[in-house]
């Protein structure tokens, strides 16, 4: 079976779940709205520009997990997914996932957004395999730090290589769908890289290399 890998934010979703989670927490009064909104915007710009310091961003984005009881966070997450994520799950993305499922491919989401936020989203797509940045835990509480290598840029490749070894799989016949130039390290590893509603830098690269460029947006 071939591996069909999907980026999540701005690929299967018509938006960025990490960014929207921050805005949701601010709107709920869980974090200081003015400060969080300003920093959230800054990090999002840096991500798009390719200048994001992932460790700095994770110290920012994982802090609310450390500061609040898990049960409260899980209740917030349930509302967040229902209210903000479900409406931006692209119908064409669901169809794409189902086409690979019907072909017998192994489905995977790989995303820099942390697993606390993305695990229920992967479940909604019916995708069992998720590689995401892992929030560290101690005694059942989040520490506010990442565990291991964040699934970002080259980190996605490293984390995927670990998964391949553990599951005795390989990248023969593999596909990877992404919107972002930040994913070029992984796009260059698979047999079939696909640019999905790509940012300008990825679009230029895809066209120059003859990669498929598709849209899942209405």
The closest of 92, 74, 100 to 11, measured between CA atoms, is 92
What is 3-214's CATH superfamily?
A: HAD superfamily/HAD-like (3.40.50.1000)
Q: Quick one: CA torsion of 49, 29, 69, 58, rounded to 10 degrees? A: 10
Contacts of 202 (CB under 8 A, 6+ apart): 178, 179, 180, 181, 183, 184, 187, 195
CB-CB contact of 160 with 186 (8 Å): yes
Mean of pLDDT values over 95-113: 98
Mean of pLDDT values over 37-50: 89
- Tens of pLDDT, residues 144-200: 999 999 999 999 999 999 999 999 999 999 999 999 999 999 999 999 999 999 999
- Tens of pLDDT, residues 122-143: 999 999 999 999 999 998 899 9
How confident is the model at residue 37, as a pLDDT?
Answer: 85
CB-CB contact of 183 with 57 (8 Å): no
Catalytic residue numbers?
A: 7, 9
């Amino acid at each position: 079976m071939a591996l069909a890998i999907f980026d999540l934010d701005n690929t299967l979703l018509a938006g960025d779940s990490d960014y929207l989670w921050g805005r949701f927490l601010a709107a709920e009064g869980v974090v200081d709205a003015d400060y969080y909104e300003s920093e959230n915007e800054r990090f999002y710009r840096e991500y798009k520009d390719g200048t994001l310091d992932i460790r700095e961003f994770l110290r920012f984005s994982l802090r609310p997990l450390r500061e609040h009881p898990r049960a409260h966070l899980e209740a917030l997450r349930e509302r967040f997914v229902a209210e903000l994520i479900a409406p931006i799950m692209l119908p064409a993305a669901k169809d794409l996932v189902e086409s690979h499922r019907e072909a017998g491919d192994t489905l995977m989401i790989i995303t820099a957004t942390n697993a606390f936020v993305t695990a229920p989203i992967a479940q909604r797509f019916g995708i069992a395999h998720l590689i995401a940045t892992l929030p560290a835990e101690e005694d059942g509480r989040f520490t506010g730090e990442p565990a291991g290598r964040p699934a970002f840029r080259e980190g996605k490749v490293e984390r995927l290589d670990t998964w391949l070894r553990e599951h005795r799989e390989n990248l023969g016949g593999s596909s990877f769908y992404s919107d972002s130039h930040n994913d070029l390290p992984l796009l260059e590893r698979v047999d079939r890289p696909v640019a999905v509603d790509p940012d300008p830098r990825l679009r230029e690269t895809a066209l120059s290399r003859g990669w498929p460029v598709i849209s899942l947006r209405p």
